[in-house]
Amino acid sequence: MSTHAYSEECPNCGFDMESYQDNRPINTCGHYCTNCGWYCQPTYGQVELEELNDWRKEHNENNEWTKEDEEYLSQLKELPECTTDPWEAVNERYKNE
């Protein structure tokens, strides 16, 4: 089963809100309160180049990786191609298998 529905207390009003967890094509969850309208749901996108490079720098620092390490992530000069819809991205990655 890929989707699990459950109730959880709304952080805003305390009412039982509808919640779900889905694991296809990636793990996601969402929450919707039918009492007050509060919601939380995943959004997909691509960060700006500067933020991505900040993430890469922090990733290297947190792991103490240097340019000599295979796992080291270099700074990018332009954003890589990025399919933001997870279903489309997974289908694209595995289309030749």
Please indicate, yes or no, whether residues 32 and 56 belong to a single structural domain of this protein.
no
pLDDT single digits (tens) 67-94: 999 999 999 999 999 999 998 998 888 8
Whether 54 and 88 map to the same domain: the answer is yes
| 64 shares its domain with 87 | yes
- Supply the range of the domain harboring residue 34: 3-40
Instruction: Specify the number of domains making up the chain.
Output: 2
Edge-to-edge strands, sheet with 39-40:
3-9, 16-22, 28-32, 39-40
E strands within the chain?
Answer: 3-9, 16-22, 28-32, 39-40
Q: Distance between CA atoms of 68 and 57, rounded to whole angstroms?
A: 15
Q: Is 9 helix (H, G, I), strand (E, B) or coil?
A: strand
Whether residues 72 and 89 fall in one domain: yes
Q: For a pLDDT cut of 70, what percent of the chain falls above it?
A: 99
Neighbours of 35 (CB within 10 A): 12
Residues 24 and 55 in one domain: no
Q: Give pLDDT tens digits for 25-38.
A: 889 999 999 999 99
Is residue 97 scored above 80 in pLDDT?
Answer: no
